[in-house]
Amino acid sequence: MSPESVPTTTINDIPDVIPGDLVVLDVREQHEWDAGHIDGAVHIPMSQLQNRVGELDPATPTIVVCHMGGRSARVTSWLHAQGHDVVNLAGGMEMWEAAGRPTVS
């Protein structure tokens, strides 16, 4: 899947309050997660995803996030190929924080 065809969304398309039927999957490393993440997000580092993919429901809409969008684009592409309902957050946590969205640590 080419980068242009990875299902992607922008910060402007995400409601300020994440709906309960939407999963945010954070694929950053532990130290990045500890520094601040989206409240309620599921943390599965990219390096652990193949072993932990069973923790995700393929039918549940999922937004994949990393620091700037590169790792999450790769994860989104892989999960999409496995039949998951996923989109990549363009700009990742950089855009989330630049938009003034809250994080927890």
Residues 44, 84, 71, 49, CA torsion sign: positive
Active-site residue 1, yes or no? Answer: no
**Of the residues 6, 41, 64, 66, which is catalytic?**
66
**CA separation for the pair 69, 66 (Å, rounded):** 6
3-state secondary structure of 57: coil
Residues identified as active-site: 66
